[in-house]
Each structure stands twice: as structure tokens, then as C-alpha cells.
Structure 1
Amino acid sequence: MNNKPYKRVLLKLSGEALMGSDNFGINRTTLSYITTEIVKVFNLGIEIAIVIGGGNIFRGVAPGAQGMDRATADYMGMMATIMNALALQDALKCIGINARVQSALNIDQVVEPYIRPKALRYLEEGKIVIFAAGTGNPFFTTDTAAALRGAEMGVEIVLKATKVDGIYNSDPKKDPLAVLYSSISFDEVMLRRIEVMDATAFALCRDQKLPIKVFSIYKTDAFRRVVNGENEGTLVHI
């Protein structure tokens, strides 16, 4: 396991991470907490790219999406990620952090389009880059977008922020004897069909030799410990 601080990372945040205790939408207290955790890492001089999901907003209209064409529903979900990205950008701006949102869908009046060289330049300039709208294609999750953008940005690791503190051998909510893995291989994760990320994302990271760390974003200082190479969460590796 890496025991030195990473220099460039990609943080994968689910939309649900912004909900807090609410049923859907953005909980301002939770958003403030998450930005505080991000700033702790940013202040270490680490370059941060972020991919964010949209399940918290799309969940609010989920009953209306039942029976909808899958591609149409996926495009609606992509637009939800743009709303989350703008909210996160604004929250970071309020505490003096310069962040840029790039979208895989073109909405020029609201956000700039995804342009790889520009995103790389933003990172090198010390700006946080938030990638919205997934890959821009239906049928691909924001987990896959995180793997793709991570590879394109040349990050050292993809950090999957969840509500649990890593990958267990069974559901820790149901099994009090569940054991937390400190590390596990891509092949074993895919063989066991562990669903912390989708199979396409795992396969892409495996092929690019891009490790994944799964940890709890709700655990104070966990993000900072992860990027410092400390023993936190579960490392998925070749």
C-alpha cells in the first residue's frame, strides 16, 4: 500500500452523499461538511478532480420515471449531476476555493464543456475540477465516468466515497461479524460481484492499472487519511 501522499486523485461522490438525512435533494449541512473534508485535502497541495452522481435529485422524480425509455431517463439523471456539480462548486466558492465544472453534455450558458487539455490545465493551476453529466452517454454510470475521467486526467487513484468505511465480506448492517478488507484484487471483486462500483468501472480501472480506494466520506478526516496513504478503507488493486 502506498505510504506517501498522492499528488493527483479523483474523488467519486454519489449524489446520495449530499442528501444527509433527507429523502432527496441537497442537505446544506451535509454539503458544508463534505466541502470541509475536501478543503482539508486541497490544502495539502493535492490536485483534486471530482465526479458526482445525481441520484439525490433524480430520486425526487423517480416515480415519474417508471416505465420511461432508459436513454431518456439516463439523460435526466445526467442533468441532475450538473445541478449537484453547480451546488458543490458554489459551496467551494463560498469558502474561497476555486473550482471549475465541466460537463459531458453541452449547456454552454451554465457550464463549460468537457475539454481534456483545459481540465488538465485547471488541475495544474491548483483548481478543483468537477466533472458533470457522467460520460455524456446513456447506459453508462457515473462510476464508469469516474474511471474514464481518472484515466484521462492521469490520477494516481480513484477514491470511491460511500456511506460505509470500505468493502466487507458480508453486509455489515446485517452481519455484526462482517470483516473489513484492507485490500482486495480487481479479479476477486468482479468474481464475487461486489457491487460497490459497477463492473464496467472496475474493468476499466483494472485495464488501466488504476487502483480504487473505497472509504466513508462521512468519517471525519477519512479523505485526508486516504490521500496521505494511511490505513483507511479498502484498496482495490491489480
Structure 2
Amino acid sequence: MAELKYRRILLKLGGEALAGEGGFGINPRRAEEVAQKVIRVLNMGVQVAIVIGGGNLWRGKEDGLDHGMERVTADHMGMLATVMNALALQDALERHGIPTRVMTGIEVRAVAEPYIQRRAVRHLEKGRVVIFGAGTGNPYFTTDTAASLRAMEIDAEVLIKATKVDAVYDSDPKLNANARRFERLTYIDALNMRVGVMDSTAMAMCMDNDLPICVVDLWQEGSLEQVVAGEAVGTLISA
């Protein structure tokens, strides 16, 4: 077993990680692929908590706000979308025998536990994967902010932002062949550059509480294992 740098992690996924064709809906095969990646990290002896977005099912701005919907209503719909994704990922994990709990910031007791910090920590200590749905339970906060908050509440040692880009760049590498790739950034640099990998509220929370953020490509083979082993992969944002 590899030497571990991080033994408790918060994995932040976008809803697109589970998306079907065109970036919409839930594709069970994609859920299965994500589950396999989580299981490999879990088998290294790492405690894993997950926050997943809901953009594959509902995009508040495009689907709601741009058409006159009230912001609070749009945000609550987005929270419910993340619960659906959390349940899909839970199902994929449990089909492999991995005990998993979904905990939500708004009460949907028929399908998930309400979020209680001590209970979440206890689940992790027992080797269960914990998936946090419904964001913070409050409108006007993104799932990035929810990830930062939950990571600090459970004393995670790192927040892994797993995307479809292999690192942070100073511009879109798909549009600019000369885009500069960063292996390390300070929180201040990331905030000043508006790098776009996390919103400023989430970034500031991590900075204030000295929680490192590692930005990696979820689909790059072994990227999550490399992070927890302390190997150089993606971009590390820290003090």
C-alpha cells in the first residue's frame, strides 16, 4: 500500500461526471466509472466524502433565471438535482458492496439522512463513503461553497476538485495552445486570476481555514490515487 499524504478527503464532482450524451441526464455507465475511481481510493485506506453538483439535470441560470424564475426557487431546484445525482452515485457504489450514506442539507428523509456533522464523521470513521447532497441547504451558495464548508466540518485534509481539465491554466487550453499551466498557486493568486475552477466564496473559505485544494482531471487514470499519495498531479492551491 502506498504511503498516504491524505487520509480523509472531500471529493468535489460536477454533475457532468454522471452525464449522458450532450452533458445532460444521468448515465449509469458513467456513475459506474466514477464509483470505480472512488473505490480504488477507498481501498488505499482513505476516508472519502463527496459533494456532487447538479448541472447535468438543472442549471439555475440558463434554465431558470434567464427566463424570469425567482432565484430562491431556482436554487432549491438545483439542490434537488444534486440529491438525485447523489442517489445515483450511492447506488453505483453499493452495487459493489461499498457502504454509502447520502446526507442532505435539506430534509428528504424518505431517501437520505439529514446532515449532522458528528454523524457524518462517524460514518467516515466506519469506512463508509458519505455523499453530501443539496448543497449547504441555503440558496445563493454554490456546490463549490458547500464542498469547502463540508470539508472543513469533517476535518478533511484536502479538497480535490475533479474536473475534465488536468490542471489550472491562465486561459482555456482548448482555445489557446500557449495557455500557461500551473502546478502550484497560492490562494491569493488563484483569487486574483479568477481561475474559474471554484467560486471566490469557496476559495476564500479554504484560504481562511488553510484547506489545500487540488485540481485534477477526474478521467486521467490514477489521478485521485496520485493526489492522496502526495504525488505531483494537477494544480495544488494552498498557502
Q: What range describes the TM-score normalised by the shorter chain of this pair?
A: over 0.9
Over 4 Å off, 4+ runs: 59-62
The offset of 1:6, in angstroms, is 0.9
Aligned residue number for residue 96 of structure 2: 95
The offset of 1:18, in angstroms, is 1.2
Contact 1:167-1:181 at 8 Å conserved across structures: yes
Within 5 A, what are the aligned runs for 1:103-142?
103-142=104-143
Within 5 A, what are the aligned runs for 1:1-238?
4-59=4-59, 63=63, 66-238=67-239
| Range with bigger deviation, 140-149 or 54-63 | 54-63
In structure 2, C-alpha distance between the alignment counterparts of 1:14 and 1:182, rounded to whole Å: 22
The offset of 1:152, in angstroms, is 0.3
- Output the aligned Cα RMSD: 1.6
1:29-51 per-position Cα deviation (integer Å, ceiling 9, x unaligned): 22111111111100001000101
Residues 125 and 9 of structure 1: is their aligned pair in 2 closer, same or farther, counting only changes over 3 Å?
A: same
Contact 1:24-1:59 at 8 Å conserved across structures: no
Residues 188 and 81 of structure 1: is their aligned pair in 2 closer, same or farther, counting only changes over 3 Å?
A: same
AA aligned to 1:161 is A
In structure 1, C-alpha distance between the alignment counterparts of 2:155 and 2:61, rounded to whole Å: 36
Q: Normalising by structure 1, what TM-score?
A: 0.95
Q: Normalising by structure 2, what TM-score?
A: 0.95
The offset of 1:23, in angstroms, is 3.4
Unaligned 5+ runs, structure 2? none
AA aligned to 2:201 is T
AA aligned to 1:29 is R
AA aligned to 1:95 is H
| Range with bigger deviation, 85-94 or 25-34 | 25-34
**Counterpart of 1:206 in 2: which secondary structure?**
helix
In structure 2, C-alpha distance between the alignment counterparts of 1:60 and 1:32, rounded to whole Å: 26
AA aligned to 1:55 is G
Residues 168 and 70 of structure 1: is their aligned pair in 2 closer, same or farther, counting only changes over 3 Å?
A: same
- Matched pairs, number: 236
In structure 2, C-alpha distance between the alignment counterparts of 1:222 and 1:195, rounded to whole Å: 20
In structure 2, C-alpha distance between the alignment counterparts of 1:48 and 1:209, rounded to whole Å: 19
In structure 2, C-alpha distance between the alignment counterparts of 1:43 and 1:78, rounded to whole Å: 30
**Counterpart of 2:181 in 1: which secondary structure?**
coil
The offset of 1:77, in angstroms, is 0.2
Contact 1:163-1:217 at 8 Å conserved across structures: yes
Contact 2:13-2:53 at 8 Å conserved across structures: yes
In structure 2, C-alpha distance between the alignment counterparts of 1:137 and 1:59, rounded to whole Å: 16
Identity over aligned pairs, percent: 49
Contact 2:169-2:195 at 8 Å conserved across structures: no
In structure 2, C-alpha distance between the alignment counterparts of 1:89 and 1:67, rounded to whole Å: 34
| Range with bigger deviation, 30-39 or 85-94 | 30-39
In structure 2, C-alpha distance between the alignment counterparts of 1:191 and 1:168, rounded to whole Å: 13
In structure 2, C-alpha distance between the alignment counterparts of 1:213 and 1:48, rounded to whole Å: 15
Residues 145 and 61 of structure 1: is their aligned pair in 2 closer, same or farther, counting only changes over 3 Å?
A: closer
1:138-178 per-position Cα deviation (integer Å, ceiling 9, x unaligned): 00000000000000000100000111001012210111122
Contact 1:24-1:60 at 8 Å conserved across structures: no
